[in-house]
Amino acid sequence: MSANTLKAIAVTAELTGTELSAAALRVMDADLAAYPEASVLRALDRCRKELKGRMTLAAVLERVEGLDGRPGPEEAWSIALSSADEAETVVWTDEISQALAVAEPLLAVRDKVAARMAFSEKYQAIVRESRERGIPCRWSVSIGNDPELRERALSAAVAAGRIGAKQAHALLPAYASPALAALVDRDEAKLLANVPEDFRASAVRGLAMVRAELESLQAQGVEHD
């Protein structure tokens, strides 16, 4: 771990009223070394702002792991349920797909409560194992048969940094709106082509805000080509 990270651990400990011996600092350093340094630094920053009591290794790890792009159990369950609709295009992770297999027999007998509990337990176990093995989050697309819903799902996935723009564009219907394709490709020249000159400056500012938001979302997720 770099000197910057060690300093961040020490500062966070001080600001949260946490006493760390040299031995405890070394152990925490070793445990956090398995994660990307940028994620560790962001997690420590969140600890400084969010913790009401002492800093613990568990609190730091919880925040580090939350930065790997994997959705929480509730969001994962919502994504899993949407896959039952053949019209929907679903952008999901391997862990969601695997956990859904456990819940499907219960959904088949309309026991949605038990299905959700079984899914959540299995999903969290799979995610925990993936993180322990250092397996990165991988998003894939299951195409639905409704073109409009496909456009919506792919655009949202690009904005969230879950899939790449090239991948989304390749999956868009051939008649997808030019504006949507330009947004996915981030082709600002196309987006501004028909904007009147009087409104060009405000449109440019608006696009800059959208671009900044996209970059912020992608920084929280997984990089894509």
How do the pLDDT tens digits run along the chain, 225 residues long?
578 888 889 999 999 999 888 888 888 888 888 777 888 898 999 999 999 899 998 899 888 877 788 888 999 999 999 999 999 999 999 999 999 999 999 999 999 999 999 999 999 999 988 887 878 889 999 999 898 899 889 988 888 888 888 888 888 765 455 555 555 555 566 556 655 666 666 666 666 666 666 566 555 544 444
pTM: 0.60
Partners of 140 in the β-ladder: 92
| C-alpha closest to that of 39 among 131, 160, 128, 126 | 131
Q: Are 171 and 154 in contact (CB under 8 A)?
A: yes
Partners of 92 in the β-ladder: 140
Three-class DSSP category at 90: strand
